[in-house]
Structure formats: C-alpha cells, structure tokens
Structure 1
Amino acid sequence: MPLLLAACGGAEPGPQARPALWLVEDSDTRIYILGTMHALPQGTDWSGGEVAKAIDAADELVMELSPAELAAAGGVFQQLAPRESPLAIESRLQGKALVGYRTIEKSGRSFSAEGLDDWAVMVLMGQRIAQNAGLSPTDGVEAGLTARFEAAKKPIGGLETARAQLMLFETLDPAAQRTLLTRAAEEADTAVKDVGALTAAWGRGDVAALEKVVNEDIDSVPAARKAIITDRNRHWSAWTKRRMEQPGTVLMAVGAGHLVSTDGMPAMLEAEGLKVKRVQ
C-alpha cells in the first residue's frame, strides 16, 4: 500500500519510458487505457511511442480525478483525516513498525500523527516516501496529460470525486487501517528502493513486475484490495463499457496498479466480451 500511495511511482526509469497502454475498440469507438504513475522523477519522458499517438488521436481525456477534483483533494483530506480523539503513535505501532515510522517522520516535517486517522498517517507516509525517492506529482503522468489536453483545448473529465476517493480509506474498518499502517511502517527501511523498482518496472511496461508489487503490497488486507482496487476497477470498467456505445476516441489514464492482475481493468473488460489489446 505505501508503494501504491507513493506513486500508484528512485531508480531512473530512463529517458524513454514506455508505460503499458491498452486499446479497447469497436467499429466507431476507441478507448486507450494508460497505466500512470502519479509522481515521477523530473524529466521523465513517458509520452512517446504509442502514447503520443493516443494523445494526438483522443478527443477527450478521462482520469481518476478531474483537474478541479484534484485541486480540491487537499481540502477534502483536511476534512476527513482528523481523529475524534488524539492517539499517540506509540499506542498504534511497536517494534520495527515504530522505528520505521520515526525514520520516515524525521526525514522531513513532522506529520502530527496523533490527531490523524491511521489511513491519513499512511497517506502522508506515502507522500514522504515519494519525496525521498525524488518523485513529484508535478512531473507525474496526470500533470503532463492535463497540460497537453488543456493546451489543445480538449475536454478533461474524471471517474470519481476527491471525497469519494478518500472515503475509500476513511470507511475501511479500524483493524484494516491499522494493518496497512503497520505494514507501511515496517517496510520503511526499503521503501525508497522499492518505489524506485516500481518506477523502473512501470517505465519498462513490465506488467508482471507491477502485478507482483501490487499483490504483495495490498493482499495482506483483502478488504482494502476490494475497496481500493477491485470495486473501483469494476466501476471504471462499467463506465468504459457504457462509453463504448458512443463514437469517438478517449484516452483514459488511471494508476498502473489498476491495470494488472485478474481483477485489473483489461481482464475485466475482456470478461465482458470487449475487444482489448495491448498496444504498448
């Protein structure tokens, strides 16, 4: 989970990253589905090859969050993150997990975790890990795509709201939140290296490596996988199927972790009988 939150992104992905890209099409509709990293090292070039063709061909861009919702996400986080009653981090984490948390916390400004829910502490840890790995959202795929489509005056939409996205974490049961937080803290000593490996795998379009990381990262908490991965993939796949009823070309850009495994979007769409092929 910390890996998904950090980049869901260091080793150098190389000057010519080639992330995985799929195409769903019928006689009059094409929907390109690009696996993204929300944060990347400065200067990463991911928009060549078939991705460049998809950007040029698309009439519209659809991301997890529209630009307006992404801009609102910080405020929504501040509304949802506080606990009803403060709880010291020493009462939540022990041993290796507490040491790992302190290591991440001391690498920058304090999180003031006592007043935050477990899921919110985990989100902030993921952001700190991304920063320590040299990754930035301003260099991520979504930021780059937004700039390109705004410059071309092409519409940009979103699949969900910032509140709905963060409520997926807020509504996880306390035991699941604590397990995720503990796991993230226990892996702190290798987190930057692991995020780098994930970034490199994304840059190679290595779906098998991405699947391994995603499964290891979230399978320890089945309820979290269902809420954060499977149910959202099902919702987005249903959106894609409905959109196929309208002509045109769409570029859909969602976190790379949503496009792998048997509950990834490509597998779900194929199970629904749609024609899906990987084009990069």
Structure 2
Amino acid sequence: MWLAEDADTRIYILGSMHALPQGTDWDDGAVGTAIDAADELVMELSPAELGAAAAAFRALAPREAPLAIDARLTGRALTGYRALEASGGSLNGDALDDWAVMVLMGQRIAQEAELVPDEGVETRLTERFEAVGKPIMGLERAREQLMLFETLGPAAQRALLRRAAEKADSGVADVLAMTAAWGRGDVAALENVINEGIDAVPAARKAILTDRNRRWSAWAIERMERPGTVLMAVGAGHLVGEDGVPALLEARGVRVRRVQ
C-alpha cells in the first residue's frame, strides 16, 4: 500500500487480490488504519458493476462461429487446456473467444488453488464500507473492462491464450506463489510474475496495464484537487514497476510513499 498526499488530501493506494484463501488476514495494521480513516472507497468496479460482470461476460464471450480448441492450441498448450477440463468439467472453449477461454482457465486454476472471491480484497472492503455507510465508487464499468480483452487483435488474444494454456500445469503453484508474494509485500516478486505473463504480448500490456494505469493516475491527480481521505484499491499488478500507478504519480510530481 502507498500513500499519495498533499496539504489537504490523502489517497491510500492498496494493491488488491480479487480472491484469497479462506481466512486470509490482511485488513489490520496500516491497512486497517487506512480503511478506518478513509471517507470513501474507490475500486476498479463499483459493487453494482461487480454484480454486472458475469452478465457482461456472457454477452461478450461467445464467438460468432464455434472454433475447436484443437484448431487453436497444439502441443503443451493443448495438453494443459485438456488437463484443466479433466480436473473440473468442460470449459466450453470451442464456443468462446480466445480471451474468454483464458479468463475461464484462470478461474478454474483459482478454484483448484482454493482461492475464494468472497475472501478477496474487494468483497471485504465493500462489506466494511457499506457497514458504516461510506460511499463506494468504481473507476470502470464491467463491460468496459471486458472490452479491453474483446478488442485486442486476434494475434494478441491467441498469444495470451496459448501462454496461459502452456503454463496450466504450474498454474496452481504460480497463483499461490503470487498470493504469498502479495501477503509478504514482495513487490519485486509480484513484478516478475506479472511481467513474465504479459510482456511477451505488448498490445495486451498496453491495453490491460499501462493505459489503465495512466487513466487511474490521472484520476488520482484530479481527485487531489479536493480535500479528504480516499482508499483506492486496484489489482496489485497495477501498482508495481515503472508504469505502475505510484511511479506514474511520482513522475507527475505527486508526493508518494509506501506505507505497508
């Protein structure tokens, strides 16, 4: 967690994990202090948009015409995909766009790693802020977020799907390692994991990470024109590296320091 501040505004910027193991303890200490101090919560999606995400996925995910996974993946990638299906039932990949298959594969791996969305940062923060009547807003809409994937070119989508499928056999271990790195605040380890997965697809990195980080840092700078204390919780991958939100804010002259 980082703190961006000026004379009358504080924005705590918390790196979130969308799903966590049952019983994970993360919202005490400095994070708990920030939660209690904040006048409002800002997340990638508001609670209403989080609720709309599944319907948006169902609307955008289907292909115009089915295409067999066997025609999209070969070798280790196809083996990894089939192993995931064998572990928990069909992913119906033939009927879905490449990006949507990748999303479902990620969800299957998270399930196998026993990561629970109800234990994730967004769910717990929503409960705490709603319990005391503090406002919650979102930086994006669910459909807008999924359109970042939907509008990627075919080559970028296929590359993301292939890389995800090739690493499916180590997916549970990788997810648990990333969760552990997050839990101990190991920014370098998080950055390595994130870069390994997306640096090979520059178009995806630009659309999914860099461009959004720039928009969110611009939002934070604008928000600092008004007094108050804000807790801004976005995926931890958006806060690390030279194009992470804290670094972008510092480059714009905002005072930023890590506080957790």
TM score, norm. by length of structure 1: 0.92
- Counterpart of 1:67 in structure 2 is 47
- Counterpart of 1:183 in structure 2 is 163
Report sequence identity in percent: 73
Letter in 1 for 2:196: E
- Counterpart of 2:110 in structure 1 is 130
Correspondent of 2:93 among 100, 113, 124: 113
Indicate yes or no: 2:256 matched with 1:276: yes
Q: Secondary structure at the match of 1:106?
A: helix
- Counterpart of 1:15 in structure 2 is none
The number of equivalent residue pairs is 260
Deviation at 1:94, TM superposition (A): 0.4
Q: 1:220 and 1:137 mapped to 2: Cα distance?
A: 28
Letter in 2 for 1:56: D
Deviation at 1:90, TM superposition (A): 0.2
Correspondent of 1:153 among 114, 133, 137: 133
Indicate yes or no: 2:156 matched with 1:171: no
- Counterpart of 1:6 in structure 2 is none
Q: 1:247 and 1:105 mapped to 2: Cα distance?
A: 51
The alignment's C-alpha RMSD in Å is 0.5
- Can you give the 5+ residue segments of structure 1 that lack an aligned partner in the other structure? 1-20
- Counterpart of 2:120 in structure 1 is 140
Correspondent of 1:223 among 196, 203, 211: 203
Letter in 2 for 1:208: A
- Counterpart of 1:24 in structure 2 is 4
Where has structure 1 moved over 3 Å in runs of 4 or more? none
Deviation at 1:105, TM superposition (A): 1.2
Correspondent of 1:249 among 229, 240, 252: 229
Letter in 1 for 2:81: Y
- Counterpart of 1:91 in structure 2 is 71
Q: 1:103 and 1:272 mapped to 2: Cα distance?
A: 47
Of 269-278 and 104-113, more deviation after overlay is shown by 104-113
Letter in 2 for 1:83: R
Q: 2:131 and 2:156 mapped to 1: Cα distance?
A: 42
Deviation at 1:48, TM superposition (A): 1.1
- Can you give the 5+ residue segments of structure 2 that lack an aligned partner in the other structure? none
Of 104-113 and 76-85, more deviation after overlay is shown by 104-113
Q: Secondary structure at the match of 1:127?
A: helix
